[in-house]
Structure 1
């Protein structure tokens, strides 16, 4: 989950049932944590493991994101792991210039449902998925895409080359802008005073906010239905189909959510990555390394530039599964997977025959990336060619051939004059030393 985001979760509420022994801690506005240092302001979002609140830090007079983990033993272990990873990041990034979220503090908090591990993280803005939606899925100007890509790569370079850590779940939701798209949602820019005392009548904590949220959702849906009817009768106009003006939005961003991250020599799981951003070697269970993050990064860059997800596999009912469809879509864009790679994984026999051909999907419709960009997204030939030259090496079926984050930072496409992101990004983060970490491979599975 985008744990320090101002935008909160995209889903409905987390549900009453999870507020029980071993589950979430019910928080009320103005509740105090860590001996009164942090005061809860409003809920930012939630995930399977935790809820996240905007909090005011009395000690530093600033706003932070307070992540409160469920109290059951498995969630405590997950939190300890994330704290370990975040501490490693913070210890080597004293200047806070590596485009990775900073851990400020962590502590235990005892409540009715047990003892909860809490993490205090720097407050950041909206995630990239919210930015894509805000722009009506129309794709950002390439200068903006470059600025975002540069930040992500600075973070990945530090993570991979200096810390030896693989993120394993890179996606738009896990990359946050420095500040909220809407200034009124940003506690630093909105000028709203912090809530330091409990509002009157605030006694039911999380449950009251859940009820209120459900009522608001119902009201919004009712208004939407009325609007739709009026629109069909010519009473109101449809929403605009063009993108918004995003010139004023700060494109600096940071990578967040290290709950699934692992050290390269200590893999946590065999199945990693969110479906659409999953690398082929993970599907085939052929082992993985830092280059899985580079595959995900390429998928994100495409999504920012076009507004569409690069790979959206479907499965069921057509005689093949989602994994096989995913592999087929990869090959339609990138060409046939080399036989040596296709048959090398523990799962390969489920999808490929001994010749390296898919068993159930025989007809592929090839559509090269540069042609796709021009035909579907109306890129100029020059933009399509240059963007493809940047992305395609990252989408190589051979993981060891994918360029490192460090190498990508030196790519001509990223270093056009108009592409330089906000000057506060520390360019010294990108050193010209390559220790060849992309070739280190983790063996998982058989």
Structure 2
């Protein structure tokens, strides 16, 4: 939908466009002022007009309504980005569904970038992961919804009123000076230059995101670092431009799970293959049946990434191996094997595993068993006592057998989270 800054949309022209926030494969997202409430702002997701996108958006609205109405007093309800309503807007391309959400700040990816990919201090990581698990507890237990795309880009930071006012003032300053705003503020398509909320979209991903995804994160920088002072403290930088220590995150940081655009019901799946690659569960790779445990696997990947700045699994295709085969090899090395009954449980198992349950194209002598605890100690120089607790948490969330994998409820009781400093 072509959008102009200052344009009004919605019933009775209720919302005025302030600037663009982000974009996904079938939508753009805009910062809008609610003219009926007086300086109240929302994020409005405007969906492409093609019928296929409308169908997906209508499914998302059903999921969002369930989340909003199911049990507002339940634990974890306030850890999901709040959906308000939707309306239809018209353009020369047809009718566009427009979904209205509470306005949030940047995603966790931006904190990872700010850490120079060294990770965050553990107290911050524990607080963030605890909040994500509470959100999943509500989605899974109360709503019977599988998110299917838990990753840093889909966990957004809650921001306070001054932060929002500053964003609006930034746009107003452009207008006062008569200076043309950056394309990223106004263009209804994609953009070229990265801005506060923005990263280049990874076309290989399956995700329909509100806040776009990254290119190879080890090659990405975040040019606009002003926002970080709202959530974290400055860090000393060595001459090689790497932090002396992980990024300190404000202990009071609040986050919420965003983007149910790829979510599904426990008993009604919309796709066989879900999740962004690096966070994809074992059962999804081999195309076994999946459910809530797939989200839990992604939380483990996220906990490791927030703690270290690196992916837990970052599979790469090569001349001899597909991406999925490399992924399975990485999982095998980290878990010291995959039980044969799990290896043979998927529709694609015969492509990857022998009849005895070993990997077809990766021989045992070419694999190095390197468990999470040892990775943290050997590669990241963690103290063994600290590595043991995080490794125990992660391994319970990437248990190959979904029936034995920790639930959100059980994960919240793990000793690693029990050590949060609550003062």
**Structure 2-normalised TM-score?**
0.81
Deviates more, 1:257-266 or 1:91-100: 91-100
297, 308, 324: which is aligned to 2:310?
Answer: 308
2:101 corresponds to: 121
Structure 1 residue 93, shift from structure 2 partner: 4.8
1:320 corresponds to: 321
2:331 corresponds to: 330
CA contact (8 A) 1:29 1:202 kept: no
268, 285, 298: which is aligned to 1:283?
Answer: 285
98, 110, 124: which is aligned to 1:130?
Answer: 110
Give the distance between the partners of 1:211 and 1:101, measured in 2 at CA. 24
CA contact (8 A) 2:45 2:98 kept: yes
Give the distance between the partners of 2:335 and 2:327, measured in 1 at CA. 12
RMSD: 3.1
2:119 corresponds to: 139
**CA gap 1:65/1:86 in 2 versus in 1, 3 angstroms:** same
* SS of aligned partner of 1:98: helix
CA contact (8 A) 2:127 2:251 kept: no
**CA gap 1:127/1:321 in 2 versus in 1, 3 angstroms:** same
35, 48, 52: which is aligned to 1:58?
Answer: 35
CA contact (8 A) 2:120 2:246 kept: no
Residue-pair matches, total: 374
1:228 corresponds to: none
133, 147, 151: which is aligned to 1:153?
Answer: 133
The aligned runs of 1:2-41 (5 Å cut-off) are 25-34=1-10, 35-41=12-18
Structure 1 residue 368, shift from structure 2 partner: 1.1
**CA gap 1:65/1:191 in 2 versus in 1, 3 angstroms:** closer
Give the distance between the partners of 1:156 and 1:211, measured in 2 at CA. 32
**CA gap 1:387/1:156 in 2 versus in 1, 3 angstroms:** same
**CA gap 1:349/1:170 in 2 versus in 1, 3 angstroms:** same
CA shift digits 1:75-109 (9 cap, x unpaired): 11111111111111111353684300111120000
1:441 corresponds to: none
* SS of aligned partner of 2:98: strand
* SS of aligned partner of 2:79: coil
Structure 1 residue 211, shift from structure 2 partner: 11
Give the distance between the partners of 2:112 and 2:179, measured in 1 at CA. 38
1:7 corresponds to: none
1:400 aligns with 2:403: yes
Unmatched tracts of structure 1, length 5 or more = 1-24, 218-223, 225-236, 421-446
Give the distance between the partners of 1:371 and 1:261, measured in 2 at CA. 34
CA contact (8 A) 2:121 2:249 kept: no
CA contact (8 A) 1:50 1:70 kept: yes
**CA gap 1:97/1:283 in 2 versus in 1, 3 angstroms:** closer
1:3 corresponds to: none
**CA gap 1:214/1:337 in 2 versus in 1, 3 angstroms:** closer
